[in-house]
Structure 1
């Protein structure tokens, strides 16, 4: 039995509430991707590693694509929670808000620096991912618009600049993940993009 299976054997034997079981399965899936990459991630392999029967896993995710989409959703929900906590603790000025948006985004991607790019690559071209990803991108854009609105003097940031900012966020975060730039450089550049976007919209 693998190390991952041994680690999860005790919790797998217990009958867990659905939400708790799904959380456990996602945790095991992240561990498997971290150890072996997404090519190793199948519903059958996940069942084996989690110490549960295949029907349990199929009941939660239906398909491998559904599992990968659930992993992306899990990642995005944790990113949102971390950002919300950082925003709540930040100073009320524009520079502080821009800094926390930038650093939170970069830090969260780096937390799962190998796994999330692999999940996105595995789901490339998937209609299900496109729907899920667009949903969470829109939530992020809405959050940033609300956060930056007080600094616009009654004006608004259009959607085009927001999508450009999100593209920049993905680009610098992935560059930091690949080791091409540091996390600090990525966050600093993204902060400057946000500040410039606000300045143009005032």
Structure 2
């Protein structure tokens, strides 16, 4: 005879789809970096934090480099989506487009807090991952060139100017992310940098 103290049968856990599991793992990875730093981002540690077995994590990312690449791709996709939508909705003026680029870059970095600088630093430590980063940087600069070229005196933007703009964007955004300057200061300074860069392309 069954006792009234017998435990109730466990409710079966809902199985996540591959996309849902991937989302769960990426969210856990961002949290892990936020709490413990990029150095702690090992696949085994991620499995522990996400409450899954190691093979699940290895199936999704393969290696630590694969996980870092996935995190960077997500960051870049968010940045690209934000900037593209804002450019399409904004006015076709230099001031509007410079403001959109400055705001999108800074806000996307701030949305990841202090995590993304660590991810980017880790990417730079691997030739394979640095190549991925450079490809996304090139795509970002091309989007900026297309948005800004109509306002340059020569109707084109030199690559050197775009690299300088990107360097300023990274430095200012990370300064804002660490609290060295405010987000408004970062955006204002980047805006002025972009406008000056366009004006120099005579």
The TM-score, its normalising length taken from structure 1, stands at 0.87
> Structure 1 residue 24 and structure 2 residue 12: aligned?
no
Structure 1: gaps spanning 5 or more residues: 1-9
Residue pair 1:149, 1:156 contacting (<8 A) in 2 also: yes
> Structure 1 residue 35 and structure 2 residue 31: aligned?
no
**Alpha-carbon distance in structure 2 between the residues aligned to 1:28 and 1:78:** 18
- Secondary structure of the residue aligned to 1:91 is coil
Given the superposition, is the C-alpha separation of residues 16 and 196 from structure 1 closer, same or farther in structure 2, using an over 3 Å criterion? Answer: same
**Alpha-carbon distance in structure 1 between the residues aligned to 2:124 and 2:115:** 14
Max radius of gyration: which structure? 2
Q: How many residues align?
A: 191
- Structure in which a larger fraction of residues adopt helix: 1
Which deviations, in whole Å up to 9, do the C-alpha atoms of 1:14-65 show, x marking residues without a partner? 4333333222211111112112222332111212222222112111111112
Name the counterpart of 1:179: 179
Name the counterpart of 1:101: 101
Structure 2: gaps spanning 5 or more residues: 1-10
- Secondary structure of the residue aligned to 1:164 is helix
Name the counterpart of 1:197: 197
> Structure 1 residue 111 and structure 2 residue 111: aligned?
yes
Deviation at 1:193, TM superposition (A): 0.9
Deviation at 1:124, TM superposition (A): 3.6
Q: Which runs of 4+ in 1 moved over 6 A?
A: none
The TM-score, its normalising length taken from structure 2, stands at 0.87
Deviation at 1:77, TM superposition (A): 0.9
> Pairwise CA RMSD of aligned residues?
1.8
**Alpha-carbon distance in structure 2 between the residues aligned to 1:128 and 1:155:** 35
Deviation at 1:153, TM superposition (A): 5.1
Residue pair 1:69, 1:128 contacting (<8 A) in 2 also: no
- Secondary structure of the residue aligned to 1:66 is helix
Name the counterpart of 1:57: 57
Name the counterpart of 1:4: none
Deviation at 1:155, TM superposition (A): 2.5
Deviation at 1:154, TM superposition (A): 5.5
Residue pair 2:154, 2:201 contacting (<8 A) in 1 also: no
